[in-house]
Structure formats: structure tokens, C-alpha cells
Structure 1
Amino acid sequence: MAVPATKVELLAAVDRTFDLLDRDLDRVPSELAREKVLPGHVKDTLMSPADLLAYLIGWNEQVLTWHRRRAAGLPDQFPAAGIAWNDLGALAQRFYAERASVSWEDLRVEFREVKDRILSLIEGFQDEDLYGEPWYGKWTMGRMISLNTSSPYANARRRLRAWLKTLPQA
């Protein structure tokens, strides 16, 4: 899928990549959801499908936080409070820990809900807002949203599908 360059394309990318990933998440046996079977976001580590979902929820929430802070006139905290861009592994670990006790079913619900909040956020902007000028560094707002939603959804799907292929077929 091409990099979104309009509001319509961004909405479609988030929806499409979410829907594809969601169908693959349906295939994860709930009894394996907390098993460390996927390559982690930190070198030489493993994560569970639940950790992967926690990571995606965390990044979606982070996007929403960036926008809430800007709307409130607060200073930016990129990528997150207390985290530098060169320490994203620590942020991934934080996301895993924040949802370590959340059930697979509840993670699935939370993921759908945060994706819907991202879509609502996007709906509130026009093409010019999303793609007319840099929003953070050289990146437009729309690009920052896609870099932290639809792009990670696609990456997560690749990781998940590779693992699902190793499972015995029922």
C-alpha cells in the first residue's frame, strides 16, 4: 500500500491495515496469547501476541496524547515522556508492562476502541492540516499518524502471520 497523502487515503490505510491484522488476530489461540513466541521490539527478545497488541495500543495512545497535549498548549513530548527516539525499546517494554495483566479479549476490545479514536482524530482534520506543512520535524501530521498506526499494523501482521504459519492446522 502506498504511503497515504490525503485524509481519505489515511483513513483507508488505517482501516484496511487494521482489518487485515484483526482477522489474523482472530486466528491466535487465546491459550497462546501470552506465550513469548514472536520476535520482540528489543534485539534478542521475544514477545507474546498480547505484548504485540499492547505495543500497538500504546503507540495509538501515544498519537492521541501528542494531539491532546498540543490542543492544550502543552509542550511536545516525543516520542513519549522520559523516552528518547533512540530508546524505543524501553518504550515497547513500557507498553508491554502497562497491559501485562489485561486479558486477550480485553486487549482486542481496547485495540478496536483506540483505532476508532484514531479515526475520529483524523476525521477532525482537513487535508491541509494533515499534509500541508511539517508537524514534527520534517514529518506532516498525517505521516506521523500513519507511521504510528497503519505502518506498525502492517509490520505486526507480518510478524504474526509468520508465527501463525508454524502452528498445526486444526
Structure 2
Amino acid sequence: MRAYDGKHELTGEIRKRAELFINEFSEVTDTEKDRIVDGVDRTPAQMIAYQLGWMRLLLGWEREESEGHKVVTPHPEYRWNALGGLYQHFYDEYADCGIAELTAQFRETVDEMISMTDSYSDTELFTAGGRAWAASTPANWPVWKWIHINTVAPFTSFRTKIRKWKKLNAATPQSTDF
């Protein structure tokens, strides 16, 4: 996993990878957003919903902890060993959104993630135990790792997925309803 010299390097990488990822959706239409293509495990709408879901979980964990609540990770209704249900929850939550709305929500949520990251001291961000929610699993990661694996890493890997989806979608004849 990549390391960062400071929070500004981390936030810069979040912004860069987020823009590269979300800009790939400019050519995806609302009629295509839920299309499954062989060779790609998610639809374009699911790809964005996944990103929104995880970022909003982290923001929620931070909000709950700052309000003095005990944070249940990953989600009160889902456990780490059964994340498929959590992913479906993300997909269902954003199912009625068009690409423009998903894109706008993605950009807003990235801004919130960057603001949250900027609000941490270096100790809170880069030292294990900086937040109780970050120490809630046996890994006891520092907060920056949680942020990285839920922003930079998936933005990068899912950019590859959407590019593959676009290539395969363009090569697949679309059915027409008469």
C-alpha cells in the first residue's frame, strides 16, 4: 500500500484519482448506466454507488464518533465477513439516480472526504489509534489507510473497470425494443 508524506499529499491524490475516475462517466448515458456487460462485475451506476457508499460510511463513522456514539463498522446491519449485502445496500440506495446526479453526489462526497482529512492533525491521521472507529478491527490501521483504501485505491481500480466496461459496451450490439 502506498504511503504519504503528509495529509496534503493524500488529499491531492484523492482529488486526482477521483477526477480521473468520475470523468470516465461523461460518455455513459442514463439508458446505459445499469447495463451489465460480460467481463465486468458491476454496472456503471453500481461502480459509483460503491464509491459513494464507502465514502459515506467513513464520513458517518467520523460523525458518530465525534457525537460520542460507539461506531459499529462496517455498518450496524452488516459484518465484515458478509460485505455482499452491504454492496447491494449501496446499489439499492442509489438505484433511482441518473448519471448526472450520481456524478454530482460523488464530487460533493469527495469534497467532504477531503475536508474530513484536512481536519485531522498529523497524529490523528497517521498514527494507529487516531480514531476509535479506525481501531475497531484487528488491523488497527491509522485513519489514512482507511481513507486510502476507500478513495484512492478503488478510484484507481474502478477506473480500469469503467474503461473496460465502455470498451466492451461499445463492441456489444444493443438490443432494441420494437
Distance in 2 of aligned mates of 1:160 and 1:4:
26
After TM superposition, the score normalised by the length of structure 2 is 0.84
Contact 2:28 2:99 in 1 (8 A): no
Shift of 1:168: 3.5
- Report the Cα offset of residue 154 of structure 1: 1.1
Q: Does 1:59 align with 2:54?
A: yes
Deviation at 1:33, TM superposition (A): 1.0
Q: Quick one: distance in 2 between partners of 1:146 and 1:114?
A: 15
Unaligned runs of 5+ in 2: 172-178
* Worse-matched range after superposition: 149-158 or 109-118: 149-158
5+ residue gaps in structure 1? 41-46
The number of residue pairs the alignment matches comes to: 163
- The one-letter code sitting in structure 2 at the alignment partner of 1:3 is A
Distance 1:126 1:105, change over 3 A: same
- Residue number in structure 1 paired with 2:176: none
1:150 aligns with 2:152: yes
2:84 corresponds to: 89
Q: TM-score, normalised by structure 1?
A: 0.87
Higher strand share: 1
Is the radius of gyration larger for structure 1 or structure 2?
A: 2
Task: Provide the residue aligned with 1:43 in structure 2.
Answer: none
User: 2:174 is matched with which residue?
Assistant: none
Q: Is the 8 A contact 1:4 1:146 kept in 2?
A: no
1:36 offset after TM fit, Å? 2.1
Runs of 4+ displaced beyond 6 Å = none
* Percent pairwise identity: 28
